[in-house]
Structure 1
């Protein structure tokens, strides 16, 4: 099935395409972030815009059926708060908090965007991501559910990088993912794109959260990730990411990172 999840009544069943690179029985952070986005979108009223998503990964999200909860609060005439949780066997493993704004009539005849346009690299620079820790015996999200084209850097060159990425699977089987679902799935890859430690070092940096502030909806499937990771001296760090489509900037993301030894 070419999707990250199968909807089964009030359950979401993850497929192998949602698997992460660190443990064979746990999901990558991107799929649950996209699923939480979809749950909150279902709470969002017409003419409202999810301006910010904050996702917390509270535990490794298992490759087992997930239940969910959602809530919506009206904070003011134009501002709403929404929340969603994913649960495994009754335990909350991931949650999201969203700020939702009621949109006005168009203010600009054209977007005042000044950073674009950006040129999508050709297929000749498209590369499959490495398997990383769990090896080649398993399907993984970052390898098989995402296409990667490098503008600056590559998987073997640690440091800041620019990579175009496309989610090539549906989030929920039978549903076309929204632009913001695609953004949330791909934004979680930024710390891997800009990793400053190679696997040969014996260490990796795992994110426990993901914050994305949206400028506007993306146009097209390919998104440009311009990411930088900075590490502190005691095993923590931050990844900052600017996401663009071919027209210009669409969102800004951050991840806080925690070091892990694989020795």
Structure 2
């Protein structure tokens, strides 16, 4: 399957119908030899979109997607397979599995809901964030290494503190080289960054990688910016939680949760 070779390099390049090759832009922050999960989450959402494209007029939209990270995400070619677990005209459940080196490394499940006109009762209690241009640029690469962090534009509130921050993020590169991607997949490709914007402790001294990412959406995101109103909590027994209200430039769109495993960095303790 060919892609536009003149297009700017994205986080991934398509190899065939189900296989993708990561570029340097997908490099992780904890380990240089691993994927950053954020763009991989977007790639999974794109694979789900492609799966649904085989059924024109299905009338379903993503309501929830939960990702479980099963093991190390080596920065190598990956395969993404999607299947329907529970078919339906109004509610449907899909499952996507990412395989690297013949080993499943991510398992995601997505609930799809039938669309309907509920604009007359639409309401969200969270106020919209101030626009991205009102936030100062934040040099996230000074705190976190890796190709992914260097490939995003981050604007963070000046009053951010340990465990609490608000930020806007956009990607400087496309999700897939030479291939159109839905606004939802592009949006989801940035959500996992939340765990790095409101850190409780210095990542040079403490590790707190997330084991999962669960996103609930009450409307489809629009535009090129992902807004994160994020709180990070560390418990007393090695567990943590990063919670975010998600926004686009029009207002809130949903919520995200990430469970963390908190432990000292071996080289620092």
- TM-score normalised to the size of structure 2? 0.87
Tell me how far 1:116 sits from its aligned partner: 4.0
Which of 148, 155, 174 pairs up with 1:149? 155
Aligned: 1:261 with 2:264? yes
- The 2-side partners of 1:96 and 1:50 are apart by 13
For residues 148-173 of structure 1, what are the alpha-carbon distances to aligned partners after superposition, in whole Å with 9 as ceiling and x for unaligned?
1112545xx42210011112221111
Aligned partner of 2:3 in structure 1 is none
Where does the alignment leave 5 or more consecutive residues of structure 2 unmatched?
Answer: 1-7
Q: Is the 8 A contact 1:21 1:131 kept in 2?
A: no
Where do residues 83-232 of structure 1 align in structure 2 (5 Å cutoff)? 83-104=95-116, 106-109=117-120, 111-113=122-124, 115-122=126-133, 125-130=136-141, 132=143, 139-142=146-149, 144-154=150-160, 157-199=161-203, 202-232=205-235
**1:27 aligned residue (35, 57, 62):** 35
In the TM superposition, residue 218 of structure 1 has moved relative to its aligned partner by 1.6
Q: Which residue of 1 aligns with 2:4?
A: none
Q: Which residue of 1 aligns with 2:247?
A: 244
Separation of aligned partners in 2, 1:244 and 1:95: 25
User: How far apart in 1 are the matches of 2:67 and 2:174?
Assistant: 20
**Equivalent-residue separation in structure 2 for 1:188 and 1:27 (angstroms):** 12
For the Cα contact (< 8 Å) 1:158–1:198, is it kept in 2?
no
- CA distance, structure 1, for counterparts of residue 81 and residue 176 of structure 2: 17
CA spacing shift, 1:103–1:123, aligned 2, 3 Å? closer
Cα offsets for 1:42-79 (capped at 9, x unmatched) = 22243100110001111121111112221013444411
In the TM superposition, what is the alpha-carbon distance from 1:109 to its structure 2 partner? 4.9
> Alignment partner for residue 63 of structure 1, among 51, 60, 75?
75
Q: Which residue of 2 aligns with 1:15?
A: 23
User: Under a length normalisation based on structure 1, what TM-score does the superposition of the two structures give?
Assistant: 0.89
CA 1:110 to 1:222, structure 2 compared with 1: closer, same or farther past 3 Å? farther
- Counting matched residue pairs gives 254
Structure with greater proportional strand content: 1
User: Within the alignment, does 1:3 sit opposite 2:15 as a pair?
Assistant: no
Aligned in 2, Cα 1:255/1:192: closer, same or farther, shift over 3 Å? Answer: same
Give the whole-Å Cα distance in 2 for the aligned partners of 1:132 and 1:117.
Answer: 27
CA RMSD of aligned residues (A): 2.1
d(CA) in 2 for partners of 1:68 and 1:97? 13
1:179: how far off?
Answer: 1.9
